Chains A and B, each alone.
Chain A
Amino acid sequence: MTAFIFGNNEYTNEIYENISDIYDKIYVLTQNKDDVDKKNNILYFDLSDEWDDLLELMIEETGVAFCVLDNDANNIFLTISLRARFENLYIVSLSTDDESSTKLKRAGATKVLPIVDITASVIFDIIEKPISSTMLHTIMYEKTNLKISQICIGDKSNIVGKYLHDIDFTKIIVVAVIDHNVNTEFIFTTQGHNHKLNIDDVLVIIGYDDDIINFKESIGAI
């Protein structure tokens, strides 16, 4: 899969560093001609509809675009331009305030990352719930074998039609379920233990690497 990062700033560097082992290829698209370095996949783009170069790169629309331009208005325009041209592209856009978040969603961003909200929630966790914060950081950013993972229930899975409380979770903890047939809200297991599992439901689980693989095998999710 290919990732495209629009904008060349401190956010670009951090995103690039963190996603480099997830994507096969990463392109950085800059508005500054001086930054262009084709050898390192840093290409030029402008906010006009001249997408010819991009179209060549975006042969597969299954890629991900990160819109991290410094200016909110430009970021919104970029998002809507991408959505107009690439209907199925996964677009992640940064927003600096609530107003921009709403506009980015309307412009077609698949996921909006509100900078202020994310930073505030992390600081809050660090100062008010330091232990939860450390644990979340550990399981989310893979410093140990204990991980948080998601399992999509396919049509061949043997837990389709079963209730959550009927399934044996001896080695893993199910945190939440998302039922795409109903809505995209999370059903946390503290409230949804009576939930009947359907095809395409996604389980969010916590467990050790090996136990997660074993569980996936046991329910026929692999």
Chain B
Amino acid sequence: MRSLANYALDLAIFLESSTKYQSFKHGVYRILEDPTCKYKKYFDFFMIFMIFSSVLILVGEVKIDLKSYLLYFNIYIISSVFLMEYILRLWVYNSNSQIIIDLYERDTFLNKKLTIFSIIYKIGTKKFEFIKKPSSIVDLLAITPFFHEVRLLRVFVLFRVFKLFRYTQSMSLFYSVLKTKKFELVTLFFFVTLVMSVSAVLIYVMEANNPDSPINTMYEAFYWSLVTISTVGYGDLYPVSDYGRGVAMVIIISGIAVLSFSTSIVVSAFNEKFDEIKDQKVLDDIKKVKNFYLVCGYNELSRNLLTRLKNNGRNIIVLDSNHDAVNLALKDGFRALNFDPTKSKSYMELDIDLEKNVIKVLSMYDSDVQNIYVTLTLKSICENIKVVAILQKKSNYKKYQLAGVDDIIFTQELIGLTAKELSGKPIAFEAINALRSIDNEIILDEIKIDERIVPHIDELLSIVKNGYKVILIGSYKIENESFSFYLDDDFSIKLGDVLLCIGKKDILNELKIYLRR
């Protein structure tokens, strides 16, 4: 007869091989846990709304008689949502079926029999890892009003507020920053505890037997110590004897030290982590960007080019090992990271699909050595990635080709060609330069003939022929990589061609929309 463990194994294999189940679970995981998922923010907003509603109802209920449906909504609906979320988080935390399969494989290898107890133990241990996490404990406690209507338990409303922290990054960020100063904070805690305990005992000894003194118990002594050392000083309890006031003076001075010490710990922790926090923020942003130019090296040329790309609506990410260059790029409004583009580790940390997400890499360093290094690093990670690089010395041209640079830009050659054009046809050169300029409203643009435009080709030709707003220069035939001049006798336009037009930027954009209507 088949054992329970065998049924569990069958079910595990079925679930592991089911693409529908796996994609559904992955989808749920992404919505709950993956900050790069575009639907996560909607889920987070929904949960924040639920928490606020719940807290408002619970707070309002203290003094006002609320309508019963509001209480019903709070106790059953909101709590059910929280419960459902908790169960889903518990479910996606790990893969039980994978645990069962791993156990089976291990036991088969060791010639042991798979038992239901080992499965339950292993799964239970893993799930307990989730349950004991502080955020999970808060989640669980936030559900409690669902089970209890006892008034005392309404204190659990606090946990609903704490639950908010799950959906805001600031708290986790604050926690991670303070974590780096654990030793200093623990030292401070012990110092405060020691000073408070000594002062509480002293003040109790000095004041407890004095009939005029409001401090009569150890609890009051501790309370007074804490209020004084924190420099709050309510004034409800105070020493009346000379000895008691002496203790108060010592604790007040200690309070100033404690306050400045704790402030400096927090400030220095933030200062030390500031760059890391900024980089992390950019990294999180990058994960959400789908298509972008990866720019290695930030200098005057990069700045000029990136401004043009940004104005053209392109996403850009800058990598530079120079801290000042990164700061300049950030100041100029680009996403920039203090990562070394010549190291594979930098791209590992970026954690992006280079082939899928990077349109092109622009290696903009002033040094040929750096540009070749960047190209080789990138090509060794992703062979198909396209690299455009600046060449400084013509003698290195062949090396660029060997490294695999797809487009080599030799500035000196461009200047030579410009000088030639300027010498022969200066005005024609100026006209073309004006069409290239980012500030000019008349531009040379490309219109790709796609399936939506094909039915309107005759209309397009008629617009060009009878109007003056758009000048058609010709069409580029992708299939045979040839250019056909508009005034050629055999000029024709076909699907896939790219038309070159001159016109006002806005009019060309409108024309494209009109043709694709």
The chain A residues found within 8 Å of chain B, CB to CB, are 3, 10-11, 13-19, 22-23, 64, 66, 68, 92, 94, 96-97, 111, 113, 115-129, 131-132, 134-136, 138, 140-141, 144, 146, 148-150, 165, 170-173, 175-176, 178, 186, 188-191, 193, 202, 204, 206-208, 211
Q: How far is the CA of A111 from the CA of B500 in the complex (A)?
A: 28
Contact between B309 and A128, CB atoms less than 8 A apart: yes
Contact between B293 and A127, CB atoms less than 8 A apart: yes
Contact between B487 and A113, CB atoms less than 8 A apart: no
Q: With A188-B502, A189-B468 in contact, do A64 and B423 touch (Cβ < 8 Å)?
A: yes
The chain B residues found within 8 Å of chain A, CB to CB, are 293, 300-301, 304-305, 308-309, 312, 314, 359-360, 362, 388, 390, 393-394, 407, 409, 411-438, 442, 444-446, 468-471, 473-474, 476, 483, 485-487, 498, 500, 502-504, 507
Contact between A121 and B436, CB atoms less than 8 A apart: yes
Contact between A115 and B415, CB atoms less than 8 A apart: yes
Contact between B503 and A23, CB atoms less than 8 A apart: no
Residues of B within 8 A of A113 (CB): 415, 418-419, 422
Question: A156 to chain B: closest CB distance in Å?
Answer: 20
Total of A-B residue pairs, C-beta within 8 Å: 185
11 examples of A-B residue contacts, CB within 8 angstroms: A14-B415, A117-B304, A120-B305, A122-B414, A126-B407, A127-B359, A173-B486, A175-B431, A178-B427, A189-B471, A190-B469
Q: How far is the CA of A16 from the CA of B416 in the complex (A)?
A: 7
Which one of A10, A175, A178 contacts B471 once the chains associate, using CB atoms below 8 Å? A175
Residues of B within 8 A of A15 (CB): 415-416, 419
Residues of A within 8 A of B444 (CB): 129, 132, 136
A208's nearest neighbour on chain B, judged by CB, is B485
Which one of B304, B434, B437 contacts A116 once the chains associate, using CB atoms below 8 Å? B304
Contact between B390 and A119, CB atoms less than 8 A apart: yes
A136's nearest neighbour on chain B, judged by CB, is B432
Question: A177 to chain B: closest CB distance in Å?
Answer: 9
Q: With A113-B418, A132-B445, A204-B428 in contact, do A125 and B436 touch (Cβ < 8 Å)?
A: yes
Interface pairs A-B: 3 shortest CB-CB = A14-B416, A18-B420, A120-B304
A169's nearest neighbour on chain B, judged by CB, is B487
Contact between A190 and B428, CB atoms less than 8 A apart: no
A127's nearest neighbour on chain B, judged by CB, is B360
Question: B476 to chain A: closest CB distance in Å?
Answer: 5
Q: How far is the CA of A148 from the CA of B390 in the complex (A)?
A: 28
Q: How far is the CA of A19 from the CA of B293 in the complex (A)?
A: 35
Which one of A11, A22, A165 contacts B412 once the chains associate, using CB atoms below 8 Å? A11
Q: With A127-B388, A131-B446, A188-B442 in contact, do A148 and B304 touch (Cβ < 8 Å)?
A: no
Contact between A92 and B470, CB atoms less than 8 A apart: no
Contact between B422 and A92, CB atoms less than 8 A apart: yes
Contact between B305 and A123, CB atoms less than 8 A apart: yes
Contact between A23 and B500, CB atoms less than 8 A apart: no
Contact between B300 and A116, CB atoms less than 8 A apart: yes
Contact between A119 and B409, CB atoms less than 8 A apart: yes
Q: A119-B301, A173-B487, A193-B468 are in contact. List 15 more A-B contacts (CB 8 A).
A: A96-B300, A97-B300, A113-B415, A113-B422, A115-B411, A116-B300, A116-B304, A120-B301, A120-B308, A121-B433, A123-B305, A131-B500, A146-B485, A190-B469, A204-B431
Question: B469 to chain A: closest CB distance in Å?
Answer: 6
Q: With A116-B301, A127-B388, A178-B427 in contact, do A92 and B471 touch (Cβ < 8 Å)?
A: no
Q: With A11-B415, A19-B423 in contact, do A186 and B434 touch (Cβ < 8 Å)?
A: yes
B307's nearest neighbour on chain A, judged by CB, is A120
Contact between A111 and B431, CB atoms less than 8 A apart: no
Residues of A within 8 A of B468 (CB): 165, 189-190, 193
Q: How far is the CA of A11 from the CA of B486 in the complex (A)?
A: 36
Which of A141, A171, A173, A188 lies at the interface centre, i.e. has the most chain B CB atoms within 10 A of its CB?
A188
Contact between A141 and B420, CB atoms less than 8 A apart: yes
Contact between A175 and B446, CB atoms less than 8 A apart: no
Q: How far is the CA of A128 from the CA of B301 in the complex (A)?
A: 16
Question: A92 to chain B: closest CB distance in Å?
Answer: 6
Which of A19, A119, A207 lies at the interface centre, i.e. has the most chain B CB atoms within 10 A of its CB?
A119
Question: A197 to chain B: closest CB distance in Å?
Answer: 15
Residues of A within 8 A of B433 (CB): 121
Question: B411 to chain A: closest CB distance in Å?
Answer: 5
Which one of A17, A66, A68, A135 contacts B500 once the chains associate, using CB atoms below 8 Å? A135
Which of B301, B426, B431, B442 lies at the interface centre, i.e. has the most chain A CB atoms within 10 A of its CB?
B431
